[in-house]
Amino acid sequence: MRVVVVGGGVIGLLTAVECVRSGAQVDLVEQSAIPSPVATSYDQHRVIRTLHRGEPRLSIAAAGLHEAWVETERRLGGRFYHRTGVLTVVTDIEAELALLSETRVPVRALTGRELPARYPQLRLKAGQHAILEPAAGTVLADRALLAAARWLRGHPAVRTHPHCRVTQLTDSATVGFANGRTLSADSVVVAAGPWSRNLLPAGLAASLTLKRQTMLSYSPSWFPAAWSRSPAVLGLGSTGDAWMMPPVAGTSVRLSAASACRTVADLTDRQTPGTWRTHLTRRFGTLLTAFEPGAVTGATEGYYLTDEAGQGPLLVRLGDEVWAFAACGGMSFKFAPVLARALADRALGNPARPTGLESVDLPRQLAGDLRGGA
Ligand SMILES: Cc1cc2nc3c(=O)[nH]c(=O)nc-3n(C[C@H](O)[C@H](O)[C@H](O)COP(=O)(O)OP(=O)(O)OC[C@H]3O[C@@H](n4cnc5c(N)ncnc54)[C@H](O)[C@@H]3O)c2cc1C
């Protein structure tokens, strides 16, 4: 079989790998370079964790992700998955521990009294507790994409088409380009990330909202030992919406919060407006001990879609053999190894292998309960 995969982000690249591993010939098409430096996935870090606060089914689904990324790294080669641990600050620790007990992943509960000694860089409020997942990790996302692209480029079953923007999809597994050229296959998988609205039917595209979020790069000089062994930290702040990614393998610390996310009309530049840089700098001044505004070395912007019908990604069948995956919400990177398997199974007409995701919204769509479509 021949499959056209559109998109050189994490979903497109890993789907292409899965198709090749199942014996298919793959054409990988990307509007930018491969991997794509403009992709949402092409960022410093993405965190791989089990605990999703207050979401038992999602937590159970995420329990196998650590192994999935270990396996992805082993298969692709390179070093991009680091077992940093993930610390989640929680308000109702008993409820979260009960939720985690079903997942059987090792966790450690840390009381508010233990936290300052272990993590002096964090400024937590009295009464805040946390759960540490020591086996959870951080993917160096851009390095994972480079490893996948290298694997694909070296494979005789793969043809890459960088700098080719798809402008049209037909329901007969043909993609069209701006210059009138077309490329046909037995099936097509589109993983266009935040650009997905351009290739979806208008009604469906209108139900997706584009978000833009600012992140700060931070290189602190205080508490060097604590920072060097820091886990990723989620759930910071009184609303629990702020997070920090640790300085793994020479990367800077990354700081952001849902409060730095806003709805925008179009995907434009990545220049951070001063107001958003100031907003995050002020917020982290209250969340980190000895915060050094001068150690904020940069700021960057990320784009993603949300689906008004739910939090999760959207899988749409646009024709008998045309599948479009829109990575709505903030879970497609961590689930990418299992999503890629599911998408490859769809594209190749193979019996769907279990994803472990069958009981949450995302798998409902993968299981064939598809919305929209042409
Ligand atoms: C600030 C931020 C934090 C996040 N945190 C997390 C997290 O902790 N965990 C998590 O799981 N997820 C997280 N996400 C979401 C996650 O990063 C994305 O869902 C995921 O990277 C999307 O991958 P993708 O391959 O579908 O899309 P992308 O990585 O955006 O790739 C899509 C590719 O398609 C190409 N393309 C688009 N249109 C066309 C076209 N017409 N023709 C050819 N090529 C085209 C683009 O150039 C791009 O390279 C976060 C997102 C942001 C912005």
Fill in the amino acid letter for 284: F
User: 231 CB under 6 A from ligand 1?
Assistant: no
Looking at the CA of residue 194, tell me the nearest atom of ligand 1: 30
Neighbours of 188 (CB within 10 A): 29
pLDDT of residue 310: 66
> Is the CB of residue 132 less than 8 Å from the CB of residue 87?
yes
* Pocket lining: 47 vs ligand 1, CB cutoff 6 Å: yes
Nearest-10 crossing angle of helices 10-21, 336-348: 50
| Cβ(220) – ligand 1 distance below 6 Å | no
372 ligand 1 Cβ < 6 A: no
Asked whether 39 lines ligand 1 (CB < 6 A), one says yes
Distance of CA 41 from the midpoint of ligand 1 (Å): 5
Rounded to the nearest 10 degrees, the angle between the axes of helix 65-76 and helix 336-348 is: 70
What distance in angstroms lies between residue 56's CA and the mean position of ligand 1's atoms?
25
Closest-CA residue, ligand 1 atom 38, reads 192
Asked if 326 and 313 touch (Cβ cutoff 8 Å), the reply is: yes
Quick check: CB of 312 below 6 Å from ligand 1?
no
Residue 63, token pair as written in the block: 């329990």
The per-residue pLDDT for 363 is 39
> Residue 195: CB within 6 Å of ligand 1?
yes
Residue nearest to atom 2 of ligand 1 (CA): 302
**What burial letters (b/e) apply to 23-39, b meaning 16+ CB within 10 Å?**
ebbbbbbbbbebbbebb
pTM: 0.95
- Consecutive sets of 10 residues in the chain, 374 residues long: mean pLDDT of each? 98 98 98 97 96 90 94 97 96 92 94 93 92 96 98 97 96 92 97 97 91 97 93 96 95 97 96 98 96 97 87 82 92 94 93 69 42 30
Residue 259: how many CB atoms within 10 A of its CB?
A: 16
Residue 369 confidence (pLDDT): 36
